[in-house]
Amino acid sequence: MISYFYDTYALIEYIDENPKYRKFFQENKGITTRLNLMELYYAMLKDIGKEKAEIAFDSLSPIAVEIKDESIKEAMKLRLEFKNKKLNISYVDAIGYQLSLENNIKFLTGDKEFKKIKNVEFVK
């Protein structure tokens, strides 16, 4: 059973072995997108190196889901709503959040912009 959408923040915390995130990856099955894996790969490439970035990308790739055109359109509507509320949500986060809504699962993050948003499991 899928329980969470893992945003890039959550993926990085899991890779960094943050104990607060471990349970979300061990007890639950989650999804992400290739866009989140792209952000993860870049962050790891920059900070840790290519070898570990490759391992992380390849090991998490099976949980990446396809993004449908309609999901992209709805995500951009959400992003505009957030912007109107003075929240700076990235394109990738808007898509992930939209996918969490579509799949009736929580959006797992520690990104401060999501702290008081509904349908979010905020872990700092």
Residues 58/24, Cβ–Cβ less than 8 Å: no
What is the dihedral sign for C-alpha 52, 47, 38, 100? positive
**H helix or E strand, kind and range, residue 122:** strand 120-122
**Residue range 102-115, pLDDT digits in tens:** 999 999 999 999 99
pLDDT of residue 27: 72
CA proximity to 82, closest of 111, 121, 113: 113
48 pLDDT above the threshold of 80: yes
Read off the pLDDT band of 29 (50, 70, 90). Answer: confident
Residues 47-54 have a mean pLDDT of: 97
pLDDT of residue 51: 98
The 8-class DSSP code of residue 62 comes to G
Superfamily grouping for domain 2-122: 5'-nuclease (3.40.50.1010)
Label residue 64 exposed, middle or buried (CB < 10 Å: 0-12, 13-18, 19+).
Answer: middle
Residues 18-41 have a mean pLDDT of: 93
